[in-house]
Chains A and B, each alone.
Chain A
Amino acid sequence: MTTSMIFFILLAILAIASAVAMIASRSAIYSALFLVLNFLAVAVIYLMLGAPFVSLAQITVYAGAIMILFIFVIMLLGTKKLDSEEPLKWQRPLAILLSTALVIEGAYVLVTRIGSHALATAATSELADPKTLGMVLFQKYALPFEIVSVILLVAAIGAVVLSRHDSKPGGN
């Protein structure tokens, strides 16, 4: 068992524990903070897998921008706890049962198909270089890049339109 393996297992335990705490915590704001912790742990795993640019983008975009948006909305809507009456009694055990079945099926496929292939601990410097990523992004994927920028613009306009206060009749 190498050092990087131990490090990976610690990060994986951190990521899984924070994910479980995220869905289990009663308060929405604690959930958001646990999700930030989960994103940070996964970002460090990206770094170990030789993707430093994506790792830092994960920290700034996911753990930074997106989670700030979540926390703003939680603060806007209040953090009062929802009443825990269950209209569907069987929903929770069934969800846990089916998700456990998903994990077992996934584990079966992984063990039988993937077997014992090994990953490079540190990727080649060419793969880890943001320059390589930028070259591929702006040459091979130039059109998808432009389409994604239009999607972002449409989403920003849509968010503004949806959350606009309009008291004029018919102005919804």
Chain B
Amino acid sequence: MYPLIFPLALAGILFSIGVVGFLIRKNAIIVFMSLELMFNAANLVFITFANYFQNVNGQVIVIFIMTTAAAEVAVGLALIVSIFRSRHSISVDDLNKLKG
């Protein structure tokens, strides 16, 4: 037995690290990886409560989240490759063409 608060605190910390990575990194690929870290933290909360309520629905939702994350990664990385091809950079600071 261990307290419910442990996995929830871990998920919160991982989510916050993901937020920091999302905000401070310039490399678009690492920004994407920070996004995956945040997905992961959300999944951890679902699994924790699936255990706490002894209900399998939380695990099913995690499977859906994983599938959606895989789809999102495929499209996102294709976008990054496409941006790199036209701008020759994957730094998010260089993507300011829409700035007035």
Q: Which residues of A contact B (CB under 8 A)?
A: 2, 4-5, 8-9, 12, 15-16, 19-20, 22-23, 28, 31-32, 35, 38-39, 42, 45-46, 49-51, 53-54, 57-58, 61-62, 65-66, 69-70, 73-74, 76-77, 82-84, 87, 91-92, 95-96, 98-100, 102-103, 106-107, 110-111, 114-121, 123-124, 127, 132-133, 136-137, 140-141, 144, 148, 151-152, 154-156, 158-160, 162-163
Which applies to chain B's interface (DSSP): helix, strand, loop or mixed?
helix
Cα-based distance from A137 to B70 in the complex (angstroms):
18
Query: Which residues of chain B have C-beta atoms less than 8 A from A69's C-beta?
Result: 73-74, 77
Tell me how far the C-beta of B43 lies from the nearest C-beta in chain A, rounded to whole angstroms. Answer: 8
Cα-based distance from A121 to B3 in the complex (angstroms):
10
Q: Which residues of B contact A (CB under 8 A)?
A: 1-10, 12-21, 23-27, 29-30, 32-34, 36-37, 40, 43-44, 47-48, 50-52, 54-57, 59-60, 62-64, 66-75, 77-82, 84, 90-91, 93
List the B residue with the shortest CB-CB distance to A76: B81
**Among B6, B36, B78, B93, contact of A8 (Cβ-Cβ < 8 Å):** B6
Is the Cβ of A106 less than 8 Å from the Cβ of B7?
Answer: no
Tell me how far the C-beta of A88 lies from the nearest C-beta in chain B, rounded to whole angstroms. Answer: 9
Cα-based distance from A126 to B40 in the complex (angstroms):
24
Is the Cβ of B78 less than 8 Å from the Cβ of A163?
Answer: yes
Is the Cβ of A103 less than 8 Å from the Cβ of B16?
Answer: yes
Tell me how far the C-beta of A133 lies from the nearest C-beta in chain B, rounded to whole angstroms. Answer: 6
Cα-based distance from A39 to B10 in the complex (angstroms):
13
Is the Cβ of B13 less than 8 Å from the Cβ of A16?
Answer: yes
